Structure 1
Amino acid sequence: MANEHEKAQLADLVDMVKGSLAMVAHAQEERARLTATAHARGRRVTVTVNADCIVIKTEFSDDIDELTYAEIASAVTAATQEAAGKVQRRAAELLEKLEEQQKLIPTLSEVFPGMPDMAALIPKAPSAPTAPPGAREEPQPEEPAVFTETEDYEHDPHVRQRSNIAAPDW
C-alpha cells in the first residue's frame, strides 16, 4: 500500500516537472518576441533591439544633420543602452513569473534528503560592462604565486646521477 502512495507522489512530481517544462518553453517563446525601442537627442535617434539586445532597427530624424558625428555616435549608444535595459527588464519580469512557479516544485534535496540543492551551486554570471573598453576599470590581475620552499630537480636523466642498482657489477 505504501508503494502505491510513493508511486502516486512520483507521478505527481513528474506531472509538475512536465508542466514546468511547458511553462519554460512558453516563457522562452515570449522572451524571443520581446523588442524595445528608445530615443535620444530629442528623438533624432531611435533604436530598436530584440530580446538578445541586438539592434534590429536604427532610425534618424530628418534633422539629424544638426548633430555632429560624435553626437550621433553618442546618441546611438545611449538609445541602444536604454532599449537594451528595457528589454532586459521585461525579460526579467518573465523570469520572475517563471521562478514563482518553479518554487512549487520540490528541490532534489527535498525529494532526496541529503542531496545538495543544485540550483544554489550554480554561480551567477557577472554583468557585462556598458562603458567602452578604454573607459572601464579593468580587473587587476592577481599576483603570481611564488614558491619559496623548493628544491632543484634535474629532469634530464643523462645529467642527473643514476642509481648504482642497475650497475653491471652489482
Structure 2
Amino acid sequence: MVNERARSDFADILDDFRDQMRTITQLQRERAALTASASVRGKRVTVTVNADGTLIETKFGSGIEDLDYHEIAKAVTEAAQQASAEVARRGREILDPLSRNRDRLPKLMEMVPGMPDLGQELRIPEPPVVSTAPPKAPERRAADPEERRSRGGATDSGW
C-alpha cells in the first residue's frame, strides 16, 4: 500500500513537471516574439527592439533635419533605452507564472526525509543593475575593475 501511494505521488509529481516544462516552452516562445518601440523628440526618432533589447529598427520622422548629429545620437540612445525597458517589463510579466508554479511544486526536502533545504543554499543571487551610462561616463568608470586597478590601491606596486 505504501509503494502504491509513493508511485502515485511520484506520478503526480512527474505530471506536474511535464506540465511545467510545457508551460516554460510556451512562455519562452511568447517572450521571444516580443518587440517594443519607443519614440522621442516628437516622433522624430523611433526605434524598435527585440525581446533581448537588441535594436532591430530605427526610423527618422519628419523634422529630423532640425536636430544636429549629437541630438539625433542622444535621441536614438534614449529611445532604445525606453524600448528596452518596456520589452524587459513585458518579458517579466510573461514569465511571472513560472515563479508562481515553482512555489506550488513540492520541495525535495518535503519528499525525502532528512534532506536539507537546498533551495536557499542554491538560490542564484540577483544580478546587479546594468548601467545605461555612456562608455566614458564617471559612473561606468567607477564600476570598471580595470579602471580601479589603474588608479592604484592595496594591490598597487607602490606600497
Q: Normalising by structure 2, what TM-score? A: 0.83
Q: Given residue 82 of structure 1, which amino acid in structure 2 is its aligned partner? A: Q
Q: Given residue 126 of structure 1, which amino acid in structure 2 is its aligned partner? A: P
- Within-5 A mapping of 1:12-27: 12-27=12-27
Pair 25,143 (structure 1): closer, same or farther in 2 beyond 3 Å: farther
Q: How far apart are the structure 2 equivalents of 1:79 and 1:101? A: 35
Unaligned segments of structure 2, at least 5 residues: none
Unaligned segments of structure 1, at least 5 residues: 145-170
Name 1:53's counterpart in structure 2: 53
Q: Aligned residues, how many?
A: 145
CA offsets 1:8-56 (integer angstroms, 9 cap, x no match): 0011001001100110000100000000000011110000000010111
Q: How far apart are the structure 2 equivalents of 1:59 and 1:9? A: 56
Pair 50,41 (structure 1): closer, same or farther in 2 beyond 3 Å: same
Q: Is 1:38–1:82's contact at 8 Å kept on the other side of the alignment?
A: yes
- Within-5 A mapping of 1:127-146: 127-135=129-137, 136-137=139-140, 138-139=142-143, 140=148, 143-144=154-155
CA offsets 1:70-95 (integer angstroms, 9 cap, x no match): 00000000000000000000001112
| Matched-pair identity in % | 40
Pair 51,131 (structure 1): closer, same or farther in 2 beyond 3 Å: same
Q: Which one has a bigger Cα radius of gyration?
A: 1
Q: How far apart are the structure 2 equivalents of 1:119 and 1:61? A: 52
Q: Given residue 96 of structure 2, which amino acid in structure 1 is its aligned partner? A: E
CA offsets 1:108-149 (integer angstroms, 9 cap, x no match): 2222342311685222222211111211242356734xxxxx
Pair 58,111 (structure 1): closer, same or farther in 2 beyond 3 Å: same
Pair 110,133 (structure 1): closer, same or farther in 2 beyond 3 Å: farther
- Within-5 A mapping of 1:15-94: 15-94=15-94
Q: Is 1:48–1:80's contact at 8 Å kept on the other side of the alignment?
A: yes
Q: How far apart are the structure 2 equivalents of 1:14 and 1:119? A: 24
Q: Normalising by structure 1, what TM-score? A: 0.78
SS at match of 2:100: helix
SS at match of 1:125: coil
Name 1:126's counterpart in structure 2: 128
Q: Given residue 26 of structure 1, which amino acid in structure 2 is its aligned partner? A: Q
Q: Is 1:48–1:55's contact at 8 Å kept on the other side of the alignment?
A: yes
Name 1:108's counterpart in structure 2: 108
State the Cα RMSD in Å: 1.9
